[in-house]
Amino acid sequence: MLLWLLNASAQAQVATNWIQLEEHPPVQVRLLIPGKTNPEQRQVAALLQVKLADDWKTYWRTPGEGGVPPQLAWQADSTNITDVSWRFPVPERFDVQGIETVGYQGDINFPLQISVEDWQQPVALEGLLTLASCTNICVISDFPLALSFTPSKLNADMDGLFAYEQAQSALPHRDHPQLTVSDMVWSASQQQLAVTVTNTEQWQQPRIFVDSLREDYADLTIELLEQTQQGNELTAKFAISHWLEQPELTGETLQVTIADELIRAEMSAEAIAGSVQPSAVSTSWWMILPLALLGGLILNIMPCVLPVLGLKLQSVIVAERERNQVRRQFIASALGIITSFVILAIMLMLLKLGGHAIGWGIQFQNPYFIGGMALVIGLFALSVSGLWTIQLPQGMQQWVATRGDQSTLGHFIQGMFATLLATPCTAPFLGTAVAFALAASNLQLLLIFVALGVGMALPWLAVAVWPSVAMKLPKPGPWLKWVNRIFALLLLLTTAWLISLLSNHVSTGVFTFIVAAFVLVALLLAYRRFGQAGVIGAIAGTLLLSGVGLLISSWTSNPKQLEEHAWKQLQPSAIASAVTQGQVVFVDVTADWCVTCKANKIGVLLQEPVASALRADDMVLMQGDWTRPSDQITDYLRSYNRYGVPFNQVYGPGAPNGIALPVILTDEAVLKAIEQARQ
């Protein structure tokens, strides 16, 4: 419906009637010329008024995760106009079914500034206002606007001027003297922006928004992740994405809009490249300490650590030892465990101070660490199997013997290696504690890692406190030979696993040489120690290890039911685009060295009914491989305050921000998240 208001001879007030569409009556609009003019600059003030009934809302120029910004398109029939500028009052944030939008509710007045070409000639305005309004449904309406006036003949209308001045007072002031944008950092890999605004006075209840005035960035999706105040500084973190492509805001000038009590300001700043720090952890750090203790304790039953603890207990059985000697050895091992956790904490603190990416288990991304561990554990396995005995030079043996307890240092180092082997066997309690520690202060990080070490050392400390427990173990006998063989086999499996990790870092030729060299050395030692029978036994062990490896490989390979939906490489910027198209995105961040990741894959992701759910037509499977260092994956994990793997997240129309799955997956948790994200 088109309503016109022609200019009267006095032109005291020029306005359209209130326009209300029959197909959508909750919204009314009107264009008003209140009579405020500036002949020197040839500018005429105007006011676009919008009335929204009940709980209907409309949008700001950057509407957030959902919605369409209002548009006012002037048509070719408009005459004597050089420009029309449109200003927006400070908006509000709304949450509609879990989607954050930015806009207005109730009555809104948008001030306009019309620049005319000839002050004495009539002006004809003819345009179309496109306005989206939403409750639990959204309606996009087109309102035709048309009026005419002669600038030199306009007179002030008191009611119109009052409405216009009220609208002006709701506008943010440009470059407020009280406020300064002190920092604006953009992380392209995280797709996040951090903005810090400094106030000369104390903040009360500030609201902050950012957007870009570039036309090609007009439809950016900007979501507020976190807003914190510390003294006179206000820091806000935003997730920014684009439905078409990943935006690059480094060097871009962005607009910051802020409101607080009597302050309404609009400032511009240039985004610089950098890393956005993860969100602050709200959980009290002292509440994490019990989780750290429990997580460390659980590590003792992991397949990486159990052989070491078993060998320690076996050593007590073999040798007749006094209580004090048992106590010293187990305390030494416990101190080795705790010391290794302290060293890990210090290394992570140094990495944080240097601005490097950090995470739990990142040492397994280093081929030199993996190779060194494989060598040490392999030699240890050969020693336990009886194929090789470590002998110190005669002079060193005498020196050690004169110092009393010749094995204290060895037990200390044994505890340290147990810790290093334990890091890929992450348990749920350990993952929570580590995630908190890596986001906390250095002191809190150190205390939590000490708690992790104490938790893992508890069984060792228990024997040190009550040596009688160890003294009451069964007496030595033929059964110990079989125990040795079992432990040797477990250690050899650990060595084979470590060597297999090297395949991600070295060429096929180098990897084949390493495997062949280890097998040949084992066969040579077996021949020297046991003759032909030893060689036959070693070959049988090698075949057994190979069979176990092939079996594990067949379990962890992609099954037929997932061939139609091969994992795509994780691209965080592509998630929002897929969700916009109504798809459900399942993200799996994993690593070859992560034992829990393998358990999740074998036990849940490759099994029914989850396998069929992942095979659905609307599913998109994205996988991030953290076996090698990857800044993109590290930044993605940090954006969710996570520092280790496994990490699984489900996105969809019903969960655009994602649903985090537990560390240890279950069928119920995965299926429930997929269904919720699909709605």
What pLDDT does residue 31 have? 95
Give the separation between CA 461 and CA 315, rounded to whole angstroms. Answer: 16
Q: Give domain status of residue 325, yes or no.
A: yes
What pLDDT does residue 311 have? 54
Q: Are residues 95 and 208 in the same domain?
A: no
Q: Are 658 and 650 in contact (CB under 8 A)?
A: yes
The parent domain of residue 653 ranges over 568-678
Q: Are residues 42 and 96 in the same domain?
A: yes
Q: With helix as H, strand as E and coil as C, how does 444-471 read?
A: HHHHHHHHHHHHHHHHHHHHHHCHHHHH
Q: Are 39 and 152 in contact (CB under 8 A)?
A: yes
Neighbours of 283 (CB within 10 A): 11
Q: Which range, of 49-53, 129-133, 494-498, averages the lowest pLDDT?
A: 494-498
Give the separation between CA 306 and CA 315, rounded to whole angstroms. Answer: 14
Give the separation between CA 456 and CA 308, rounded to whole angstroms. Answer: 12
The residue among 208, 203, 234 whose CA lies nearest residue 223 is: 208
Across the strands, what pairs with 84?
A: 114
17, 114, 366 from 48: Cα distances, Å: 12, 12, 62
Q: Give domain status of residue 5, yes or no.
A: no
Higher pLDDT, 176 or 347: 176
Structure tokens at 18: 């209130």
Q: Which range, of 132-141, 284-293, 392-401, 613-622, averages the lowest pLDDT?
A: 392-401
Mean pLDDT of the chain: 76
The residue among 522, 529, 454 whose CA lies nearest residue 297 is: 454
What pLDDT does residue 429 have? 47
> Which pLDDT band, with edges at 50, 70 and 90, does 398 fall under?
very low
What digits encode the pLDDT tens for the residues 555-584?
544 444 444 457 889 988 888 888 888 899
Over 60: is that where the pLDDT of 90 sits?
yes
333, 336, 416, 602 from 289: Cα distances, Å: 22, 20, 21, 31
Q: Are residues 389 and 495 in the same domain?
A: yes
Q: Give domain status of residue 41, yes or no.
A: yes
Q: Give domain status of residue 529, yes or no.
A: no
CATH at residue 592: 3.40.30.10
For the CA atoms of 115, 117, 121, 123, the dihedral, rounded to the nearest 10 degrees, stands at -40
Higher pLDDT, 448 or 71: 71
> Which pLDDT band, with edges at 50, 70 and 90, does 278 fall under?
low
Q: Are residues 376 and 303 in the same domain?
A: yes
Q: Give domain status of residue 519, yes or no.
A: no
Tell me the pairing of strands 619-625 and 568-569: parallel
Q: Are residues 367 and 398 in the same domain?
A: yes
Q: Are residues 50 and 73 in the same domain?
A: yes
Q: Which of 273, 301, 321 marks a domain boundary? A: 273
What pLDDT does residue 514 have? 75
Q: Which of 273, 301, 335 marks a domain boundary? A: 273
Q: Give domain status of residue 226, yes or no.
A: yes
Q: Give domain status of residue 543, yes or no.
A: no
Over 60: is that where the pLDDT of 585 sits?
yes
Q: Are 65 and 19 in contact (CB under 8 A)?
A: no
CA dihedral sign, ordered 216, 219, 221, 224: positive
Give the separation between CA 661 and CA 60, rounded to whole angstroms. Answer: 34
Across the strands, what pairs with 207?
A: 259
Q: What are phi and psi of 289, to 5 degrees?
A: -60, -45
Q: Are residues 27 and 145 in the same domain?
A: yes
Q: Are residues 496 and 625 in the same domain?
A: no
Give Cβ neighbours of residue 113 (< 8 Å, ≥ 6 apart). Answer: 43, 44, 45, 46, 84, 85, 87
Over 60: is that where the pLDDT of 321 sits?
no
* HSE value, Cβ hemisphere, 13 Å, CA-based, for 41: 10
What pLDDT does residue 553 have? 53
Over 90: is that where the pLDDT of 423 sits?
no
What digits encode the pLDDT tens for the residues 185-226?
888 777 889 999 999 888 888 999 999 888 778 778 888 888
The residue among 383, 333, 370 whose CA lies nearest residue 492 is: 383
What pLDDT does residue 636 have? 83
Give Rg (Cα) of the chain: 35
> 102: buried, middle or exposed (CB in 10 Å: 19+, 13-18, 0-12)?
buried
Higher pLDDT, 323 or 78: 78
Give the separation between CA 578 and CA 457, rounded to whole angstroms. Answer: 47
Give Cβ neighbours of residue 276 (< 8 Å, ≥ 6 apart). Answer: 185, 187, 190, 192, 193, 194, 237, 639
Give the separation between CA 224 and CA 209, rounded to whole angstroms. Answer: 8
Q: Are residues 339 and 436 in the same domain?
A: yes
Across the strands, what pairs with 128?
A: 73, 144
What pLDDT does residue 41 have? 93
Q: Are residues 665 and 612 in the same domain?
A: yes
What pLDDT does residue 437 have? 57
Neighbours of 646 (CB within 10 A): 25
Structure tokens at 234: 């206000």
Give Cβ neighbours of residue 161 (< 8 Å, ≥ 6 apart). Answer: 34, 35, 36
CATH at residue 56: 2.60.40
Over 50: is that where the pLDDT of 7 sits?
no
Domain count, the chain: 4
Q: Are residues 297 and 166 in the same domain?
A: no
> Which pLDDT band, with edges at 50, 70 and 90, does 426 fall under?
very low
Most confident of 65-69, 165-169, 307-311, 376-380: 165-169
Region 641-659: what's the mean pLDDT? 82
Q: Are residues 501 and 587 in the same domain?
A: no
Give the separation between CA 490 and CA 496, rounded to whole angstroms. Answer: 10
DSSP-derived secondary structure letter, 561: G
Structure tokens at 394: 């005669």
Q: Give domain status of residue 425, yes or no.
A: yes
Q: Which of 472, 505, 538 marks a domain boundary? A: 505
Structure tokens at 624: 């991030």
Amino acid at 309: L
Amino acid at 121: Q
Residue bearing tokens 């009360």 = 204
